[in-house]
Amino acid sequence: MMNKKLIYLAERRSLLIKQAAAQRSALSYNLAPWQARLSWVDRGLAGVRYMRSHPTWMAGSALVLVAVLRPLRARKWLQRGWLIWQIGRRLRSR
């Protein structure tokens, strides 16, 4: 009885391994056209992670952007940035 069960389990395992390999192959084939687009998404996510880990660089970049824009618009953009920063801090503290 135990021997038959072990043989059945070994056969079942072998079948499942073959099915998983076929599914991986099919998935790889179906996702090949998306590879370039997904690499851009990966780069974007890496950029977001970098910005989150270096908030001072982000603030400095924002200041440079404000300096490039007309000074009359700078106050409006600084107010918006301050508001967004405060909202982000509140959301993170929850």
Domain that holds residue 49: 1-53
Same-domain check for residues 49 and 93 = no
Same-domain check for residues 48 and 60 = no
Residue-wise pLDDT for 59-78, tens only, equals 787 777 777 776 667 777 77
Same-domain check for residues 46 and 59 = no
What average pLDDT does range 8-16 have in this prediction?
Answer: 96
Same-domain check for residues 73 and 92 = yes
Domain edge (last residue) among 20, 35, 53: 53
Q: How confident is the model at residue 12 (pLDDT cuts 50, 70, 90)?
A: very high
Show the 3-state SS of 39-94.
HHHHHHHHHHHHHHHCHHHHHHHHHHHHHHCCHHHHHHHHHHHHHHHHHHHHHHHC
Number of domains in the chain: 2
Same-domain check for residues 45 and 3 = yes
